[in-house]
Chains A and B, each alone.
Chain A
Amino acid sequence: MPETTTMTSRSRTRHRMTLVAALVMCMVFGLSIAPAAAQQTTLEVLSFLLTNRTIITGDFDRDAQAAAATRDTIATIVAQEISTLPVSSSSGGFAYRIDPTLGAVVRASDSFGTFYTERSLTAGRHRASFGIGYQNTLYNTIDGYDLRDGTLVSTAATLNDQQFDAETITLRLRTDVMTLTGNYGLTNRFDVGLAVPFVRMNLQGERVDTYRGEAFFQATGSASASGLGDMVMRLKYNVFDRGASGVSLGLETRLPTGDEDNLLGSGDFTFAPRFIGSVEGDTVGFHGELSYTLNTDTNTLGYGGALTIAATPRFTIVGELFGRRYDGLGRLTSTTVPHPRLAGVATTRLTGVEETTDRLLLIGGIKWNVTGTWLLTANVLRPLTDDGLNAGWVPTVAFDYSFGS
């Protein structure tokens, strides 16, 4: 009988693994279909839209420099935004451990954990989880400038502070990110994780010149690209635990697997040590995280705090504040210089400057154990700061499946 049980269990495990593999393959194929190579990359289209074509500024070199700086800043911001993905594991919520003082088996945590902020609890030895998440983002503003209402001035000419000719840009930037995640507990205290994002980037833009109140449609450009984003590898080691509370150290590495020219990835290898602490009671848990991302261009200080409420054994409510401070990420700004030849005329250009950028996000959502070890995660994200690339509300839905003993 035990052999039979083992064999049947193995057979069932094989079935599950086959189905997981099939699901993943479907996702990958669905996302990676690209009929033909694009004639222009997303970056080139963005550069085209941002480069002044009509206003005689008298300094076309400076026009080009400003357009390039703006493009690079937007590209960096977009890449950073896309690389901010929730990849934390929820499998700790399904783990059962022995309480030595009680002599009984207890659930490792009554909650299913957090979204972006890590928690100290690890999944448990030989416990694995796979997840698939989808996030749709329609960006509205960048560094406080509205992207969609046609008020983002790329180049303008003013006479005695009165603007009489201006080129404005409208950008409709949308991303769909589907992330496959996996987490495995090598030991009771040591987790390894992997996140593979597939990104679809859609950019549509137009440039309009408004001369003395009359608008002249100048150009449109659009680009769409999809493919692998920057993969994330994660390690987490629990150095101290008391129940579900404890302290863990983590390490996150992002690989430049995304196409930088199509804004699917940052193009940089990053390395981020993390410090994670959690205090969990029977129902309520507090989690905090501090990280520092080392990058060739931009170092980032990350911090986050999360509150989890285990409303029922199968339902967890999560609220998070997640912040990042980017050193030298770049900000969009407008610079005004006098026209080199025309008295009283000044040229305003949109450009990018290296400045520290602070971002703060508010996330709220739920994790619901639908059945077995299937977990449905749904949350919305709301930026609280103007810096960077921001959307109104960003919804994320994910399914997570855990197994193992």
Chain B
Amino acid sequence: MAQPLSEHDEELGSIDDFAPEQPAVQPIDDDLELHADLEPVPLRLPDTRRGAGNARSWFVGMLVSLIVGGVWLGWRAIPPAAAPGETTAKPIASSTVERQPIERPGIAPPVPSSSEPDRAVSVDRSTPPVEKPRPAPVEKPQSAPVEKPRSASVEAPRPPVEKPRSASVEAPRPPVEKPRPAPVEPPRSAPVAGSPGKAVEGPSPPPSLADASRASPPLPGPATAPAPSPPLPVPTGEEVPSALVAAPEPAPASPPATTEPRSSGGASRSGVEVTDNVAIQDLLGRYRTAFGALDVASVRRVWPSVNQRSLERAFRQLEEQDLSFFSCTINVAGVRAEATCVGSSTFIPTVGSRSPQSGPSQWNFKLSKKSAGPWLIDEAQAR
């Protein structure tokens, strides 16, 4: 405390004046007088709070929101009433969907086992290739090169076609109930592109619920379908993509030719090819059934190399799934084959929305068979 004050000696005097007992900084002491004055009446800025009402409004807003949210949540659990003008022929409320999966629009019931006849395949099998009476073959114009290898599509299953070996498979089909005009060979030059594609219509048995739900809107139902002249009836009324529909038969005079040996092939070879097509169709049907049943073991039986772990994980994520193949184009090359199927798939996930959602619509399969063995899927891609 005895330190000299170097700069302010004259102004402030001794540093002893700063002793606590005697505050030396007079200006500060002067201010302290003000402190004493301020003490009883603290300075207070005008309160800028927007009032308690603002706080209340905040919480009222939150409360209203929570109530609205709660009501909404509760309301969602109630199936919505049909709006005026709507016809609800089939319940589609989510609660109904859970209890009655079979009636869910767009979703077919899981097929109980792969051994059960598949809709498409069983129909195909039921149309044996050779037994139908057919008109005599008529020579086709030779504008189409006969030797075009294995690129053409034909209605399948049908009587053995000698060449080309590829087939466009109409699926699903019911059993054929009456004699039909002989299947015809497609134009050999460009059987797919050159064909004026159209929806194939025909009489069909009453579709199941799943079939009905799967039916596409553009086509009239079976009851309204005109009397057919197509080679094969299609029961579901599904519109077949034109690009994959086999060429329509131009006239009854079209050459049957399917059972007739052509230039190089023999009946035995044709029979083998048809057998391959039918076997592949059956395989694809079992694939479809297995996926619909979410049955990994069944899938492995037709696709042994499938990534089982990934497939199990994928199937665990789905509650239901349904695959429909509108048409398949099959190209057989010896012990290998490729198949492209166009269709639709719907699924209901285990997590998320309970509404059916769309899955893949096109599948590409690579298949092979060992000698005298069954056809199996080597690779399947979907998009």
Candidates A35, A343, A374; contact of B51 at CB < 8 Å: A35
The smallest C-beta distance from B140 to any residue of chain A, in angstroms, reads 38
- Of the candidates B5, B25, B360, the one having the most CB atoms from chain A within 10 angstroms of its own CB is B25
- Check if A30 sits within 8 Å of B64, measured CB to CB: yes
Instruction: Determine if A219 and B44 form an interchain contact, defined as CB atoms under 8 angstroms apart.
Output: yes
A399 proximal to B (CB < 8 A): yes
Which of B48, B92, B349 sits near A39, CB closer than 8 Å? B48
Q: Is the CB of B382 within 8 A of A54?
A: no
Question: What residue of chain B has the Cβ atom nearest to residue A371's Cβ?
Answer: B73
- Quick one: CB contact mask for B205-229 with A, threshold 8 Å, 1 for yes? 0000000110111000000000000
Please, how many angstroms separate the alpha-carbon atoms of A37 and B213 in the complex? 61
Contact status B382-A8, CB under 8 Å: no
Indicate whether A222 sits within 8 Å of B47 (C-beta atoms), given known contacts A96-B357, A313-B317, A403-B353.
yes
Q: Does B277 contact A (CB under 8 A)?
A: no
Contact of B45 among A45, A105, A216 (CB under 8 A): A45
- Interface assignment of A218: CB less than 8 Å from any CB of chain B: yes
The stretch from B78-86, B126-134, B266-274 touching chain A is: B78-86
Q: Which of A9-17, A137-145, A186-194, A381-389 makes up part of the contact surface?
A: A9-17
Least CB separation from B83: chain A residue: A11
- Which chain A residues border B353 with CB–CB below 8 Å? 94, 372-373, 402-403
Q: Which residues of A contact B297 (CB under 8 A)?
A: none
Within 8 Å by CB of A7, from B46, B68, B83, B358, lies: B83
- The CA-CA distance from A405 to B54 in the complex, in Å, is 41
Taking the nearest CB of chain A, how far is it from the CB of B286, in angstroms?
14
Asked if A8 and B83 sit within 8 Å, CB to CB, the answer is yes
A280 at the B interface (CB under 8 A): no
- Which residue on B lies nearest to A41, using beta carbons? B48
Q: Which residues of B contact A373 (CB under 8 A)?
A: 352-353
Give the CA-CA distance A212 to B11 in the complex, in Å: 24
A54-B35 CB under 8 A given contacts A30-B60, A373-B352? yes
Q: In the complex, what's the smallest C-beta–C-beta distance from A101 to chain B, in angstroms?
A: 7
Q: Could you say which of B12-20, B185-193, B247-255 contacts chain A?
A: B12-20
CB neighbors of A among B65-98 (8 A): 65, 68-69, 72-73, 75-76, 80, 82-83, 85-90, 92
> Known contacts A8-B82, A26-B68, A104-B311; is A33 also within 8 Å of B381 by CB?
no
Taking a contact as CB atoms under 8 Å apart, the answer to whether A223 and B360 are in contact is no
Give B1-16 interface residues, CB cut-off 8 Å to A.
3, 5-8, 11-12, 15
Instruction: Give the number of chain B interface residues (Cβ < 8 Å).
Output: 92
A337 at the interface (CB under 8 A from B): no
Contact assessment for A2 and B217 in the assembled complex, using a CB-CB cutoff below 8 Å? yes
Q: How distant is the Cα of A313 from the Cα of B69 in the complex, in angstroms?
A: 24
A98-B35 contact in complex given A3-B217, A8-B83, A107-B317, C-beta closer than 8 Å: no
**How distant is A196 from chain B, measured CB to nearest CB, in Å?**
14
With known contacts A31-B61, A48-B45, A216–B38 Cβ distance under 8 A? yes
A33-B310 contact given A8-B83, A105-B359, CB 8 Å threshold: no
Q: For the complex, is B306 an interface residue (Cβ under 8 Å from A)?
A: yes
CB–CB B382/A104 < 8 A: yes
Residue of B nearest to A157 (CB): B28
**Residue on B with the closest CB to A204?**
B49
Chain A's closest residue to B345 (CB) is A105
Question: A22–B28 Cα gap in the complex (Å)?
Answer: 62
In the complex, which residues 346-405 of chain A have their Cβ closer than 8 Å to any Cβ of chain B? 369, 371-374, 399, 402-403, 405
Shortest CB–CB separation between residue B224 and chain A, in angstroms? 14
Residues of A within 8 A of B73 (CB): 371, 374
Judge whether B8 and A218 touch: CB under 8 Å: no
Query: How many angstroms between the C-alpha atoms of A232 and B75 in the bound complex?
Result: 32
Q: How far is the CB of A280 from chain B (nearest CB, A)?
A: 13
B45 touches A102 (CB 8 A): no
Report A-chain residues with C-beta under 8 Å of the C-beta of B347.
96, 105
* Cα separation A38 to B42 with both chains bound (whole Å): 22
Is B215 a contact partner of A217 (Cβ separation < 8 A)? no
Known: A4-B89, A8-B86, A372-B354. A223 touches B49 (CB 8 A): yes
**Which applies to chain B's interface (DSSP): helix, strand, loop or mixed?**
mixed
CA distance A80 to B291 in the complex (A): 52
Cross-interface CB contact of B321 among A1, A105, A212, A219, cutoff 8 Å: A105
**A163 contacts B by Cβ under 8 Å:** no
**Distance (whole angstroms) from the CB of B308 to the closest CB of chain A:** 11
Question: Does B318 reach chain A (CB closer than 8 Å)?
Answer: yes
Q: How far does the Cβ of A371 sit from chain B's closest Cβ, in whole Å?
A: 8
Which one, B6, B12, B25, B357, contacts A405 given CB within 8 A? B357
Contact for A219 among B11, B45, B76, CB less than 8 A: B45
Contact B48 A45 (CB under 8 A): yes
A38 to B46 alpha-carbon distance, docked (Å): 10
Residue of B whose beta carbon sits closest to that of A205:
B45
Contact with B along A19-43 (1 / 0, CB 8 A): 1001100110111011110111110
A239 at the interface (CB under 8 A from B): no
Query: What B residues does A33 contact at CB under 8 A?
Result: 53-54, 57-58, 61
A 212-227 to B, binary, CB cutoff 8 A, 1 in contact else 0: 1000111111111110
Q: Is B372 an interface residue (CB 8 A)?
A: no
Contact B44 A220 (CB under 8 A): yes
- Which single member of A2, A55, A178, A372 contacts B105 (CB below 8 Å)? A2
Contact A26 B45 (CB under 8 A): no
Q: Which residues on the B side are within 8 Å of A219 (C-beta)?
A: 42-45
A220 to B38 Cα, complex, angstroms: 13
B62: interface (CB < 8 Å): yes
Contact partner of B89 (CB less than 8 A), chosen from A1, A36, A41, A107, is A1
Residue of A nearest to B5 (CB): A343
When chains A and B are docked, how far (Å) is the Cα of A211 from the Cα of B34?
A: 12
24 chain-A/chain-B pairs, Cβ below 8 angstroms:
A1-B90, A2-B105, A4-B86, A11-B82, A23-B69, A27-B62, A29-B61, A30-B58, A36-B51, A53-B43, A54-B31, A56-B25, A98-B359, A98-B360, A104-B291, A107-B317, A165-B28, A178-B62, A209-B35, A216-B39, A219-B45, A224-B49, A282-B313, A313-B317
Known contacts A132-B65, A216-B35, A405-B357; 13 further A-B pairs (Cβ under 8 A): A2-B217, A5-B92, A19-B68, A27-B62, A96-B359, A98-B360, A99-B314, A165-B28, A217-B42, A219-B45, A221-B44, A224-B48, A313-B351
